[in-house]
Structure formats: C-alpha cells, structure tokens
Amino acid sequence: MRAPPAYQTLRQALRDEIASGAYADGVRLPTESELVARHGLSRQTVRRAFQDLVAEGVVYRVPGRGTYAHQDGHRYLRQLGSIEDLMSLSDDTTMEVLTGLRRRVDVEAASRLRLDDDVVHTVVLRRLHGTDPGVPFVLTRVHLPEFVARPVLGAPELADGAVSTCTVIGLTEPHLASPIAEAAQSITVSAADDEVAAAVGCPPGHPMLRVDRLYSDASGTPVELAVSHFVPEQYTYRVTLRRSS
C-alpha cells in the first residue's frame, strides 16, 4: 500500500498533537522553518499541511506572528452550496439585532438593489456561535427594498436588541410573490470600521473577510443585499465545487 503524501502525514501529526493537548488553545505552533528542520521536509510540504489545518479550523494564522492552535468548536465552520444552506444559519447560530429595521437613505445599497430612489430599509445584526454567551464572528448590514421590508417592519425578531435563531431571508421570503432563487456573492478583504470592531471584539482596522450577497427572486428582481464582515480568526468558509457532467 502506497504511503500517504508527506503533507498529509504532517497534518495528521499536528492535528493529533493539538487534540491531545500538546498545544492548548491560543498556543503558537512551531514555525515552518522549525518543522522543516525537525522532520526533514520541504517548506512547501509544511506550508500545505498548515493550509489544510487552517481550512479545517484547527489552527489560525496571525500575520507576522505565527500559527496558533484552536480549541475544538472555537471557530465557526460554514459549508455552503445552496440558498437552503444560507437559510440554515439559524440552525447553529444566534442572531442579535444591534440596530433594528428602519428606513434610511443609502445611495450605494439602493443602486445595487436597482431601486428608482435612494431609500432602503436596513437592519444591522451580528451572529454568535457556541454556547451562552456565544462568540461573535460576523456583523451584517442587511438592506431591503420597501416592498420587501413592509410586511416585516413590525417583526419582533428585527427590533433593536432582539435575539433569535432566525435569518432575515427566512422572515421575508414567505411574503414574496416569488421565492428567492439566486444569491450572487463576492468575497473581498476589508478593514473593520468602528461599528464592526465594537460588534465582534476586534481592533478598528483589523483585516476582515467581507462577503456581499445580493439575493434575487425567481423573476430576477433583487430582494436583499447583505454585506457581512467576518472575523477571520473565528470563521472558516468552505465551498465544495464539483465537475459538471
């Protein structure tokens, strides 16, 4: 039987050491250079093992400082492949409303929603994972057109300070003439502004994973724009791609 690739062997060894407590939560692992010297491996092999562990949420990297162990469950892992997956955020996270749903002028959001004027309805929320009190891992600003917001303006789940396990699209979709059929997504990196930093407990200017999702119904009409800033140390985003037949 052929031996597994060297990076897989190293990855498993590091994973086992973390699981056994050799590296407690927040403890720095050996550097790439130290592992190269210790195991006689190439730097590329060590880097590949670290990349896999980061993707799994077993470790996280701090630029300029090193790679650190993550306790089980400390990082939130989300695997997405459908609209239903996005709605299922309510299954294992808590939504906390920081600024309730209200009318405002937002030129950029209105433009992206293809509205005739500059007025949208916006709710600002954060999500937490884990047990009480939970770990905040994202701040999201959700922008809705008037016709989408109107039926849920009085919803207690979207009021200031509300805490629930729902999603905004889960609340709005039952009121739409057509179901949500598409989410166009873009992923970039941006710095945390003061509101984001206060919500998720990071310093202002901290690098964040920004995910923009524009939801459209079956007729192609935009019905929601969600702009989220994720704490990279607390979140792993995984997408499965399959070859078309």
Task: Read off the pLDDT of residues 59-108 as tens digits, 9 standing for 90 and up.
Answer: 877 777 788 887 654 555 555 556 666 655 555 688 999 999 999 999 99
Whether 57 maps to a domain, the answer reads: yes
DSSP state of 234: G
Mean pLDDT of 109-127: 96
Flag whether pLDDT at 164 surpasses 50.
yes
Cα atoms in the 13 Å half-sphere on the side-chain side of 42:
6
Give backbone dihedrals phi and psi of 183, rounded to 5 degrees, phi first.
Answer: -130, 105
Whether 107 maps to a domain, the answer reads: yes
Per the rule left: phi > 0, alpha: psi between -120 and 50, beta: everything else, 220 is: left
Per the rule left: phi > 0, alpha: psi between -120 and 50, beta: everything else, 47 is: alpha
**Same domain flag for 144 and 221:** yes
Residue from 98, 102, 104 nearest 162 by CA: 98
**Same domain flag for 64 and 97:** no
Which residues span the domain enclosing 33? Answer: 6-69
The tally of domains found in the chain comes to: 2
Q: What is the pLDDT of residue 158?
A: 97
Q: What is the pLDDT of residue 73?
A: 46
Q: What is the pLDDT of residue 159?
A: 97
Q: What is the pLDDT of residue 33?
A: 92
Whether 245 maps to a domain, the answer reads: no
**Same domain flag for 196 and 86:** yes
| pTM, full prediction | 0.68
**Same domain flag for 127 and 50:** no
The rounded distance, in Å, linking the Cα atoms of 173 and 167 is 10
**Same domain flag for 163 and 135:** yes
Encoding tokens for residue 133? 């009190």
Flag whether pLDDT at 1 surpasses 70.
no
Domain containing 205 — which CATH number?
3.40.1410.10
Side chain identity at 96, as an amino acid letter? E
**Same domain flag for 175 and 221:** yes
Lowest mean pLDDT among 30-34, 53-57, 82-86, 164-168: 82-86
Residue 197, SS3 per DSSP: helix
pLDDT tens for each residue of 137-152: 999 999 999 999 999 9
Residue from 209, 193, 242, 211 nearest 54 by CA: 209
Give backbone dihedrals phi and psi of 190, rounded to 5 degrees, phi first.
Answer: -145, 165
pLDDT tens for each residue of 173-232: 999 999 999 989 999 999 999 999 999 999 999 999 999 999 999 999 999 999 999 998
Element (H, E) at 79: strand 76-80
How far is CA 174 from each of CA 91, 178, 203, rounded to the nearest angstrom? Answer: 18, 9, 38
